[in-house]
Amino acid sequence: MSKRPFVGCGLFVLAAALALAQGPAAKVIVIKGARIVPVIGDDIPSGTIVIKDGLIDAIGAGVPVPPGARVIDATGLIAYPGMIDGYSFLGLSEISGVSATVDSRESGRVNPQVRSVEALRYDSMHIPISRSNGITAALVAPSGGLISGVSCLVNLDGWTNREMVIKTPAALHIELATIRGGRGGFMGMTGQQRVETPKALEELKALFAAARAYEKRKAYAARQTLLALPDFDETAEALLPVLRGEVPVVVSVHADKDIKLVIDFVTAENLKAIFFGVEQGYKVASDIQKAGIPCIMGSLYDMPPTWEDGYDALFRNPGELAKAGVKIAFASVSSSTAKDLPYHAAKAAAFGLDRREALKAVTLYPAQIFGLDKALGSLEKGKTATIVLADNDLLEFRTNIKHVFINGRETDLSNRYTELLEKFKKRDTEEK
Amino acid sequence: MSRTSRNIRIAFLAWSVLAAFGAAPGAWADGGNLLLKNGTVITVTKGIIPRGDVLIMSGKITEIGENLTAPTGVLTIDVTGKYILPGIIDSHTHIALGGTNEGSEPITPEVEVGEVVVADDVSMLTALSGGVTMIHTLHGSANPIGGQDVTLKLKWGQPSEDLIVKEAYRTLKFALGENPKQSNRSGISAATPPRYPATRMGVNAIIRRELERAKLYMAQWDRYSKLKAQKNPPPTLLPPRRDLRLEALAELLRGELVARCHSYVATETIEFMNLAKEFGFKVACFEHAWEGYKIADELAAAGIGISVFADSWAYKMEAAEGIAYNAGYCAKKGVLVSINSDSGERIRRLFNDAAKTMKYGGLSEDEALRLVTINPAIQLGVDKIVGSLEVGKHGDVAVFNEHPMSAYTRCDLTVIEGDVYFDRAQVLKEREEAAKKAAAPKKDGGAS
């Protein structure tokens, strides 16, 4: 169920719940007259989208409006699939400098047992801000240490953390050494020792071997009833779904030589790998392409990995990876500025990434990377009605988002920004 | 080889790490001549010329218009399809400095960051690659009264004293709130007690105390000067003891220094305006001013500008209500707003941050661009020489491939006083040559 929440009885339960929550609202919503950018296939200069039971029931130029439907006149607007943030701390970090509000980083180095969904603050003030900029889903990732924990992929809408979930576990997260010393953080204040990648990979190899041995012992003891069952090993238990290939592993890897080492490592360990960060990926793009490993870009809002790479290394990296045939996705790597996701993609487009590819790298490609493209990532009949109506290019700064639908439900676009703005605007209008 | 092409060559040695950390090349002493042709000229203050030219002679803009010609030998760059705008100005950063906080004591107005300018800080190159030509680089926010700041042109490779913009206001940094009261410091214990002040009350009290001391100090000197000027000064007349700390504050009270005040929440901002009124000193600008939108009327009435982030917020408690509408909303209310970087990285995408005010605040392209050009120039007191493209102003210019307020734009050329300090085409050319060289088989050396 967790992998395919949009099919079967879950949908009926959801639809029934929505019907209850929204009272006698029309079951069918029609978006009429928008320019449609389906991401897959050609744009439709003026078309209609019919939303029924949370799904796209029909889409195209000559689609008739079913009787009794709520019709949204979207003339002058552009319909896009909702954007997906490939790596964020949404719901885990509220005010980064106030530790009581931060749940993204567990202590210690090996924490495969921690699950981001269990700390996800569904009413974080950062979530509606992202949503109102056209971002409808995000990977919520734990960070820190060697093995950071397990991420979840969530809709940016829901009355509880579990209501938001599209997929959990989404991936296990492994972090390797960054290029510029330390482990990042403000002035390197994260308090963790740097471990070079070859040594880290040795550690991982030992952990994986121990987990496999544990699995064997468990299986053997299960058959041999006279043998004591092995003690519960939370590390091994959490690693096994990854080693069995049921859960992908997101490896934060940065330097070109490390990327090559990790390609060999994940191949030898037979892991389903996704790379994150990949700042020097362009130097080994063909190796990554051959290995078929998709890449989630780290934040483009950073200095070049080294000065020899050139001032624009981070900006041109996505374009060069894409040209080499690597599947890329963008990420905010943030909670408080997660709304900036589209601008990372546009920045890469300014430095060589094809604009259509840039758009795919915030919609279709992250959906594909996390195995959700049957339901998300493009506007097609049968996919979830997760749709953004914008008054301009989705990746532009000036663009205003007018409507956001997640699973066919129109979401609230007010947020902490607008609430405070409206509150203090009242100074002008209140009676003196 | 022409002087300018030599300059370009030297400037881009800088992109290799050796030059980036090596000696200053210094080759711009004679001032620059340059003709930029066929771009969309965004003057900021005098409208837009859809297809125009900008001529810079001896470092100053001498002509803006259509079909301009330059004297023979002047470097001409065709920028057809691109946008010519004034060099971007960062009203608040800390780059190019050998130190930012004299945090050992809370009151240090006598220290000057202008004495520790690091003219080969690589962040200057980062800034240049984002079209930035001038920065106001400040003392940090550790102290209620921190020290004196400096305005620099990003003339990478020149001696540090040549970077300093003497026309700019002399500014004195104040800081309020969490940083001076040290509420985010770890490791404060019984053994290392917190410094006074530790509250916002204390921060204001200590500033008031120092200003009172400065007033008294000025009165002492006045009394001394008057007695000394008498025909027969008393034989026992002695000058007051000189105090460099109070000298600096006296300069503030006399208007020779203007205050730049780091403040976040509305209350502390209002109270600093009250202090300024009480003591009669000028506040040029509030830094960060994350709650400016709550008191936009007061700021506008006082004529005090703000230098703010576009949307970097929620990194500490006092930034938890820093909404992205702040800059645009305050600008619409008549507050002089600039967007700053406060960072050696963000500085290269100030134009992106300015563009965000179109969505959050509803500014037009032109209004948004002002936030990183003429507005910071006014805040620094240099709007007569930079901040817009006008005849007679300095030839500080940036060229972008798309409209600077588009998310798809890129800086292609940065010029200071007619000399090219960043040229993307040259970077790409050198990168290509380096790649060719690396790929070519070695001519000699045989065995490896």
Residue B379 lies inside a defined structural domain of this protein? yes
Same domain, B31 and B10: yes
Q: How many domains does chain B have?
A: 2
For residue A431, the model assigns a pLDDT of: 73
A contact residues 393-412, partner B, Cβ 8 Å cutoff: 393, 395-400
Nearest to A311 among B129, B184, B344 (CB): B129
A391 in contact with B, Cβ within 8 Å:
no
Q: How many whole angstroms separate alpha carbon B297 and alpha carbon B311?
A: 21
What's the average model confidence in pLDDT over B124-130? 96
Nearest to B408 among A95, A310, A350 (CB): A350
pLDDT in tens, B282-317: 999 999 999 999 999 999 999 999 999 999 999 999
For residue B444, the model assigns a pLDDT of: 58
Q: Is the distance from CB of A127 to CB of A133 less than 8 angstroms?
A: no
Q: Is the distance from CB of A376 to CB of A386 less than 8 angstroms?
A: yes
Same domain, B8 and B21: yes
Q: Which residue of A has its CA nearest to B362?
A: A398
The amino acid that residue B377 corresponds to is A
Same domain, A237 and A115: yes
Same domain, A195 and A320: yes
Residue B281 lies inside a defined structural domain of this protein? yes
Q: Test B297 with A427 for CB contact under 8 angstroms.
A: yes
pLDDT in tens, B364-422: 999 999 999 999 999 999 999 999 999 999 999 999 999 999 999 999 999 999 999 99
pLDDT in tens, A175-187: 999 987 544 444 4
A300 in contact with B, Cβ within 8 Å:
no
Three-state secondary structure call for residue B137: strand
**Bridge partners of residue A381, in order along the sequence:** none
B314 in contact with A, Cβ within 8 Å:
yes
The distance of B70 to chain A (nearest Cα, Å) reads: 32
The amino acid that residue A213 corresponds to is A
What percent of chain A shows pLDDT beyond 90?
88
For residue B187, the model assigns a pLDDT of: 65
For residue A181, the model assigns a pLDDT of: 59
What's the average model confidence in pLDDT over A352-370? 98
Q: Which domain range does residue B392 map to?
A: 1-86+387-426
The distance of B196 to chain A (nearest Cα, Å) reads: 22
- Residue of A307 and B422 predicted with greater confidence: B422
The distance of A392 to chain B (nearest Cα, Å) reads: 11
Q: How many whole angstroms separate alpha carbon B275 and alpha carbon A228?
A: 76
* Band (B195; pLDDT cuts 50, 70, 90): confident
Q: Test B359 with A337 for CB contact under 8 angstroms.
A: no
* Band (A192; pLDDT cuts 50, 70, 90): low
Decide: residue A9, CB within 10 A, 0-12 exposed, 13-18 middle, 19+ buried.
Answer: exposed
For residue A168, the model assigns a pLDDT of: 98
Same domain, A286 and A418: no
pLDDT over threshold 50, residue B274: yes
For residue B188, the model assigns a pLDDT of: 63
Same domain, B221 and B367: yes
> Which CATH number belongs to the domain containing residue B157 in this structure?
3.20.20.140
CB contacts of A397 in chain B (<8 Å) are 352, 355-356, 358-359, 405-407
Q: How many whole angstroms separate alpha carbon A240 and alpha carbon A215?
A: 8
* Band (B190; pLDDT cuts 50, 70, 90): low
Same domain, A110 and A5: no
Here the tokens at position A116 are: 């981001």
Here the tokens at position A180 are: 């510029």
Residue B180 lies inside a defined structural domain of this protein? yes
Same domain, A72 and A87: no
What's the average model confidence in pLDDT over A361-386? 98
Q: Is the distance from CB of A255 to CB of A280 less than 8 angstroms?
A: yes
Residue B351 lies inside a defined structural domain of this protein? yes
Q: Going by C-beta distance under 8 Å and a sequence separation of 6 or more, which residues neighbour residue A16?
A: none
pLDDT over threshold 90, residue A271: yes
> Which CATH number belongs to the domain containing residue A161 in this structure?
3.20.20.140
Residue B57 lies inside a defined structural domain of this protein? yes
Same domain, B317 and B377: yes
> Which CATH number belongs to the domain containing residue B29 in this structure?
2.30.40.10
pLDDT over threshold 90, residue A10: no
> For A366, left (φ over 0), alpha (ψ -120 to 50), or beta?
alpha
- Give, in order, the Cα–Cα distances in Å from B55 to each of B2, B77, B88: 17, 11, 18
Cis peptide before A342 (omega within 30 of 0): no
For residue A194, the model assigns a pLDDT of: 85
Same domain, B276 and B151: yes
- Cβ count near A388 (within 10 Å): 28
A61 in contact with B, Cβ within 8 Å:
no
Q: Quote the ipTM score.
A: 0.92
DSSP run (H or E) holding B151 = strand B150-153
- Give, in order, the Cα–Cα distances in Å from B232 to each of A212, B220, B229, B309: 100, 19, 8, 59
The C-alpha R_g of chain B, in whole angstroms, comes to 24
Residue B417 lies inside a defined structural domain of this protein? yes
Q: Which residue of B has its CA nearest to A303?
A: B345
- Cβ count near A134 (within 10 Å): 25
Here the tokens at position B287 are: 């830094």
Q: Which domain range does residue A53 map to?
A: 1-81+377-432
Q: Is the distance from CB of B410 to CB of B401 less than 8 angstroms?
A: yes
pLDDT over threshold 90, residue A432: no
DSSP assigned state of A111: -
A contact residues 301-340, partner B, Cβ 8 Å cutoff: 301-303, 306-308, 310-312, 335-337, 339-340
Q: Is the distance from CB of A327 to CB of A377 less than 8 angstroms?
A: no
> Which CATH number belongs to the domain containing residue A55 in this structure?
2.30.40.10
pLDDT over threshold 80, residue B176: yes
Q: Which of A351, A376, A401 is at the close of a domain?
A: A376
**Bridge partners of residue A34, in order along the sequence:** A47
Q: How many whole angstroms separate alpha carbon A149 and alpha carbon A143?
A: 7
DSSP run (H or E) holding B423 = strand B419-423
pLDDT over threshold 80, residue B103: yes
pLDDT in tens, B319-346: 999 999 999 999 999 999 999 999 999 9
Rounded to the nearest angstrom, the gap between the alpha carbon of residue B246 and the centroid of all alpha carbons in its chain is: 26
Decide: residue A218, CB within 10 A, 0-12 exposed, 13-18 middle, 19+ buried.
Answer: middle
* Band (B183; pLDDT cuts 50, 70, 90): confident
A342 in contact with B, Cβ within 8 Å:
yes
A99 in contact with B, Cβ within 8 Å:
no
Gap between the terminal Cα atoms of chain A: 58
- Residue of B399 and B7 predicted with greater confidence: B399
pLDDT over threshold 50, residue A101: yes
What's the average model confidence in pLDDT over A218-227? 94
The distance of B318 to chain A (nearest Cα, Å) reads: 10
Q: How many domains does chain A have?
A: 2
pLDDT over threshold 70, residue A265: yes
Q: Test A95 with B358 for CB contact under 8 angstroms.
A: no
Q: Test A347 with B360 for CB contact under 8 angstroms.
A: no
Here the tokens at position A257 are: 């030589």
For residue A191, the model assigns a pLDDT of: 52
A89 in contact with B, Cβ within 8 Å:
no
Same domain, B335 and B406: no
DSSP assigned state of B444: S
Same domain, B327 and B208: yes
Q: Test B315 with A336 for CB contact under 8 angstroms.
A: yes
What's the average model confidence in pLDDT over A5-15? 43
For residue A20, the model assigns a pLDDT of: 43
What percent of chain B shows pLDDT beyond 90?
86
pLDDT over threshold 60, residue A354: yes
Nearest to B410 among A310, A351, A399 (CB): A351
CB contacts of A97 in chain B (<8 Å) are 184, 315-317
Q: How many whole angstroms separate alpha carbon A284 and alpha carbon B182?
A: 46
For residue A185, the model assigns a pLDDT of: 41
Decide: residue A203, CB within 10 A, 0-12 exposed, 13-18 middle, 19+ buried.
Answer: middle
Closest CA to A173 of A105, A77, A98: A105
Same domain, B378 and B398: no
Nearest to A307 among B20, B317, B356 (CB): B20
The distance of B20 to chain A (nearest Cα, Å) reads: 8
Same domain, B176 and B318: yes
Same domain, A338 and A261: yes
The whole model's pTM is what? 0.92
The DSSP annotation for A174-199 comes to EE---SSSS--SGGGTT------HHH
Same domain, A29 and A134: no
DSSP assigned state of B290: T
* Band (B28; pLDDT cuts 50, 70, 90): very low
> Residue holding tokens 């190796």?
A287
Decide: residue B381, CB within 10 A, 0-12 exposed, 13-18 middle, 19+ buried.
Answer: middle
* Band (B424; pLDDT cuts 50, 70, 90): very high
Three-state secondary structure call for residue B260: strand
Same domain, B340 and B406: no
Q: Test B410 with A301 for CB contact under 8 angstroms.
A: no
SS3 content of chain A, % helix, strand, coil (to 5): 35, 25, 45
Q: Is the distance from CB of B393 to CB of B415 less than 8 angstroms?
A: no
A424 in contact with B, Cβ within 8 Å:
yes
Q: How many whole angstroms separate alpha carbon B272 and alpha carbon B280?
A: 12
The amino acid that residue B62 corresponds to is T
Same domain, A372 and A253: yes
Same domain, A88 and A76: no
The DSSP annotation for A141-177 comes to --BSSSEEEEEEEEES--SSHHHHEEEEEEEEEEE--
Q: Test B314 with A96 for CB contact under 8 angstroms.
A: yes
Residue B312 lies inside a defined structural domain of this protein? yes
Same domain, A381 and A371: no
Same domain, A354 and A390: no
* Band (B441; pLDDT cuts 50, 70, 90): confident
pLDDT over threshold 80, residue A19: no
What's the average model confidence in pLDDT over B213-227? 98
A184 in contact with B, Cβ within 8 Å:
no
B212 in contact with A, Cβ within 8 Å:
no
Q: Which residue of B has its CA nearest to A358?
A: B408
Q: Test B17 with A355 for CB contact under 8 angstroms.
A: no
Closest CA to A402 of A71, A81, A88, A133: A133
B22 in contact with A, Cβ within 8 Å:
no
Closest CA to A18 of A413, A416, A405, A414: A405
Nearest to B407 among A306, A312, A396 (CB): A396
What's the average model confidence in pLDDT over B111-128? 95
Cis peptide before B197 (omega within 30 of 0): yes
Q: Test B359 with A398 for CB contact under 8 angstroms.
A: yes
CB contacts of B355 in chain A (<8 Å) are 397-398
Same domain, A124 and A216: yes
Same domain, B358 and B399: no
Q: How many whole angstroms separate alpha carbon A303 and alpha carbon B341?
A: 14
* Band (B185; pLDDT cuts 50, 70, 90): confident
Nearest to B311 among A311, A337, A355 (CB): A337
A344 in contact with B, Cβ within 8 Å:
no
Same domain, B356 and B417: no
B350 in contact with A, Cβ within 8 Å:
no
Mean per-residue pLDDT of chain B: 91
Residue B406 lies inside a defined structural domain of this protein? yes
B427 in contact with A, Cβ within 8 Å:
yes
For residue A70, the model assigns a pLDDT of: 96
Q: Going by C-beta distance under 8 Å and a sequence separation of 6 or more, which residues neighbour residue B234?
A: B227
* Band (A15; pLDDT cuts 50, 70, 90): very low
